C-alpha cells in the first residue's frame, strides 16, 4: 500500500520520470555516453554509471554533485576541455542554447570575448567555464574580466563550481529529451 503522505516531485512523473527509469535500465555503455553529454569527465561519467539506479531526480543530482566535488583537478580539466570557448561556434545543441546570449553580440563584444578568453587560458591553463544560461554577452564579458583577477587556486574552484551548475542543467535536459 502506498503512503498517502508521500509526494512525488512533478519532475519525477510523466516523461522525465520515464527517462530516469530508462537511464537506470540502459546498458553501462549507453549510460556512460549519456552522462558524458552532461559532463566531459570520463571518471565522473563512469562513477555515475556505477552509482545507478537513481530512485529520484534529487538522488541523481546529489550523486552528480558528490562525485564531481570528489573529482581530481585532472578530471575537472578534462570536463572543461569538452566545452567550446565562450563565443566559439559549437555543433552541440546544448552549448548553443547555453551561449545563446553571445550570438547576438556586436563585433566589438565578440572581439573582447576572444581576447579575454585568450588571456584567461594563458593565465589559468584551461578554458573559461561559466554557466552562461540566461546571460548576455556583456554580462559574460564582465564576469570573465572579473575572474581574470583571481589567483589560479581560487579560479579552479570557481570553474569547478560553474561546471557543476552546467552539469545539473544538462542532467535535466537529458531527462527532458
For cell 552509482, name the residue. 51
The DSSP secondary structure of the chain, one letter per residue, reads: ---TT----GGGSHHHHHHHHHHHHS-HHHHHHHHHHH---HHHHHHHHHH---SSHHHHHHHHHHHHHTS-HHHHHHHHHTSPPTTS--S-HHHHHHTHHHHT--HHHHHHHHHHHHHHHHHHSS------TT--HHHHHHHHHHHTTS-HHHHHHHHHHHHHHHHHHHHHHHHH-
Looking at 15, 33, 83, 91, which residue is catalytic?
83
Residue 15 is among the residues annotated as catalytic for this protein: no
Residues marked active site are found at: 83
Amino acid at each position: 500500500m502506498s503512503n498517502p503522505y508521500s509526494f512525488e516531485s512533478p519532475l519525477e512523473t510523466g516523461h522525465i520520470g520515464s527517462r530516469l527509469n530508462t537511464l537506470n535500465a540502459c546498458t553501462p555503455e549507453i549510460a556512460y555516453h549519456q552522462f558524458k553529454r552532461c559532463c566531459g569527465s570520463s571518471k565522473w561519467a563512469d562513477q555515475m554509471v556505477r552509482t545507478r539506479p537513481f530512485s529520484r531526480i534529487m538522488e541523481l543530482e546529489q550523486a552528480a554533485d558528490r562525485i564531481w566535488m570528489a573529482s581530481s583537478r585532472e578530471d575537472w580539466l578534462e570536463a572543461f576541455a569538452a566545452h567550446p570557448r565562450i563565443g566559439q561556434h559549437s555543433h552541440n545543441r546544448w552549448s548553443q542554447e547555453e551561449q545563446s546570449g553571445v550570438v547576438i553580440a556586436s563585433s566589438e563584444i565578440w572581439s573582447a570575448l576572444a581576447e579575454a578568453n585568450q588571456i584567461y587560458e594563458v593565465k589559468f591553463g584551461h578554458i573559461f567555464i561559466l554557466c552562461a544560461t540566461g546571460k548576455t554577452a556583456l554580462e559574460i564579458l564582465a564576469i570573465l574580466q572579473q575572474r581574470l583577477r583571481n589567483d589560479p587556486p581560487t579560479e579552479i574552484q570557481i570553474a569547478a563550481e560553474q561546471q557543476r551548475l552546467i552539469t545539473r542543467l544538462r542532467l535535466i535536459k537529458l531527462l527532458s529529451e
